[in-house]
Every structure is written in C-alpha cells, then in structure tokens.
C-alpha cells in the first residue's frame, strides 16, 4: 500500500507522477509532466512548472516557486525562514532550466537563475546568476553553463575521466 498525502486545493497537471510516501500541501500548483520522488515534502502554496523532476527526500517549504524543466537532486533542502523561528518568511525562486545537485541547501529568499547549475552539496546563500555554475560552502560561481555543458558532453562521450 502506497501512502501519499495530497492536500486540499492542490492543482495537478497531466502526467504528474508522485512516488511513495510523498507529501503535497494545500494550495500547491504542479504543472504537466512533473515527477516528485519518494519521501519528498512539498509544503503548501508551492508552484512547480511543467517538465520538472524532483528526486527523493527533497524538502520544499511554503512560498517556493520552481520553474519549468528544473531538476532537483535527491536530498535538496530549500528554506524559507532566514531567522528561524521568525514570524516572517520568504520563499526561494528557481527559474526555468536550472539544475540543483544532490544535498544542496538553498537559503530563504535566494533566486536561482535561468539555466544555472548548483553543484551537489553546495550551500547557496545568495542569488545565482543565469547560466552560471556554483559550488562550495558558501557557493561561489565556478564557471559558466556553457563550460558545464562542454564538460558534461566530454563525460558522456567517455573522453573525460
């Protein structure tokens, strides 16, 4: 028996796949062709654009906005309270085509730019420009998306170690 929780007023697009033991909070809007992995927690009032893939054990707090064709790796944690436990919160914005590696932590109020890449384990404490690759703790720009795509292509072809 698979047990998921889908809250009240949730809008699910076509071909949405929600894997085992996932939580989707009230008023969340999920676009077409989205996949949400097992053990993920998508809180209330979140928006997720079409074609986005969210791997397992991801935490997405209220007021987070994720664009179209975004990849969120396993164990990513978004936050929405820069001074816990304050009475005022702010969401994270992830623009279209961004990719966030496993185990990254994203600070409340940060914007991840269109087409950017956040490396695995990075701790993002400030906005990420479009088409940039950030890594480290705290995350810093390491190179461009163009360079990332070149390295990825080399890796996939077997030319890189």
Return the minimum-mean-pLDDT range out of 12-16, 42-46, 67-71, 82-86: 82-86
Q: How far apart are CA 66 and CA 37, in angstroms?
A: 15
CA distance 118 to 97: 12
Percent of the chain with pLDDT over 70: 98
pLDDT band at 159 (very low <50, low <70, confident <90, very high): confident
| Strand arrangement, sheet containing 41-42 | 5-6, 23-24, 41-42, 59-60, 77-78, 105-106, 123-124
Q: In what order do the strands lie in the sheet with 140-144?
A: 17-18, 35-36, 53-54, 71-72, 99-100, 117-118, 132-135, 140-144
Consecutive H or E run containing 156: helix 145-157
Enter the pTM of the model. 0.93
The tens digit of pLDDT for each residue in 102-151 reads 999 999 999 999 999 999 999 999 999 999 999 999 999 999 999 999 99
Using alpha carbons, list the distances in angstroms from residue 95 to 7, 92, 113, 148, 161: 25, 10, 5, 18, 31
How confident is the model at residue 2, as a pLDDT?
Answer: 62
Whether 55 shows a pLDDT value over 60: the answer reads yes
Domains of the chain listed by start with CATH number: 5-157 (2.160.10.10)
In what helix (H) or strand (E) does residue 24 lie, and over which residues does it extend?
Answer: strand 23-24
């Amino acid at each position: 028996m698979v047990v998921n929780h889908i809250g009240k007023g949730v809008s699910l697009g076509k071909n949405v796949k929600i894997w085992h033991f996932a939580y989707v909070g009230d008023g969340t809007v999920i676009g077409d062709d989205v996949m949400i992995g097992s053990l993920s927690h998508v809180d209330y009032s979140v928006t997720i654009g079409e074609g986005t893939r969210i791997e397992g054990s991801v935490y997405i707090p209220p007021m987070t906005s994720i664009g179209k064709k975004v990849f969120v790796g396993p164990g990513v944690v978004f936050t929405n309270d820069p001074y816990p436990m304050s009475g005022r919160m702010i969401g994270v914005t992830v623009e279209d085509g961004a990719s966030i590696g496993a185990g990254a932590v994203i600070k409340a109020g940060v914007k991840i730019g269109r087409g950017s890449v956040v490396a695995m384990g990075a701790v993002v404490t400030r906005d990420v420009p479009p088409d940039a690759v950030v890594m480290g703790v705290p995350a810093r720009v390491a190179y461009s998306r163009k360079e990332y795509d070149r390295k990825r292509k080399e890796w996939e072809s077997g030319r890189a170690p």
